[in-house]
Amino acid sequence: MIIDGGLSNALADRGHVLADDLWTARLLRDAPQEIVAVHRAYFEAGAQVATTASYQASVGGFVAAGLDADEAERLIVRSVELAREAALEHPGAQVAASVGPYGAVLGDGSEYTGRYGLSAAQLRDFHRPRIELLLSAQPDLLAVETIPDIDEAEVLAGLLDEYKMNAWLSYTIADGRTRAGQPLDEAFAVARGVDAIIATGVNCCAPAEVLGAVQAAVAASGKPAIAYPNAGETWDPEAHEWVGTGSYDLALVPTWRAAGAAHLGGCCRIGPTQIAALAALG
């Protein structure tokens, strides 16, 4: 299954400045058809799944930006509707509603550290209403992505098991561990026994991290793996930009597949051109 690439970079390439706290979610309000256009571009490039523009969307974030709660909820639902609009043009295409980590809504790079100082109950209270809003729009599955630590993953796995909605669970990692520094075998074991989780793996990590993570994910979870790394650069939360040199190399893909990665795509800084090349590998 070929997943799409990064939403933010594709929107930036279309001339949108994403410097505020709402990030891509701002365009759910200000330019929804631009989001549809990006979803469409990825489908035309060969992606089979569109991930929605809900990664950093939350009722609290929208309210802080001046919207009322009802409109905030409507925009989260709209993220699924916009992806569906593009998917209807491509028979068999699927919509994965993005469930980003709590750290994403903070807008300070916390998704790359985890350990927010919240209890499991607080994390559950944050994630539950957003998941329920997304499910109300009837996506094909949930993309629980860029999770930085096991604590948050366990909360989300519990919610997925409760709602019985197919989902993938994807961590962001560095140096062979979760961003919070935990062993990957323990992280991926969270998915074992949760029938709703159809795959587990990594996203928004350096391409060089993928192979070891896929091997660990398959061994620990007993499920197919998913991998959609970024281009290999590093996010600077103060400057709100990616720095460094890209290292995304399609020559690595066969090794990922051989290790058990059944679902592949790209994250930040990976656009339709790279997804087309990935899809062309067959």
pLDDT the model gives residue 239: 66
Query: Average pLDDT of the chain?
Result: 94
Between CA 235 and CA 232 the distance in angstroms is 10
Q: What is the mean predicted confidence (pLDDT) over 86-99?
A: 97
The set of residues, in sequence order, having a beta carbon less than 8 Å from that of 254 and lying 6+ positions away, is: 281
* Per-residue confidence band for 147, with pLDDT thresholds at 50, 70 and 90: very high
Between CA 63 and CA 73 the distance in angstroms is 10
Whether 99 and 134 have beta carbons less than 8 Å apart is answered as yes
CA distances from 156 to 100, 191, 197 (A): 10, 10, 10
Place of tokens 């091997």: 215
Answer whether residue 109 shows pLDDT above 70: yes
- How many other C-beta atoms are found inside a 10 Å radius of the C-beta of residue 182? 18
Give pLDDT tens digits for 2-37. 999 999 999 999 998 887 777 788 899 999 999 999
Domains of the chain by residue range: 7-280
Q: In 173-248, which ranges are continuous DSSP H helix?
A: 184-188, 210-221
Would you say how long the chain is, in residues?
282
Q: What is the mean predicted confidence (pLDDT) over 102-121?
A: 91
Query: Cα 238–248–107 angle (5° rounding)?
Result: 25
Q: What is the largest CA-CA distance in the chain?
A: 49
* SS3 assignment, position 103: helix
Written out in words, the top-level CATH class of the domain with range 7-280 is alpha beta
Between CA 225 and CA 187 the distance in angstroms is 13
Give pLDDT tens digits for 189-219. 999 999 999 999 999 999 999 999 999 999 9
Beta bridge partners of 226: 201, 263
Region of 107 (left: φ > 0; alpha: ψ -120 to 50; beta: rest) is left
* SS3 assignment, position 228: strand
Answer whether residue 81 shows pLDDT above 90: yes
Q: What share of the chain is helix, strand, coil (3-state, %, to 5)?
A: 50, 15, 35
The pTM assigned to this predicted structure is 0.94
Answer whether residue 99 shows pLDDT above 70: yes
Region of 204 (left: φ > 0; alpha: ψ -120 to 50; beta: rest) is left
Answer whether residue 57 shows pLDDT above 90: yes
CA gyration radius, the chain: 17
Place of tokens 């009722």: 59
Give pLDDT tens digits for 177-189. 999 999 999 999 9
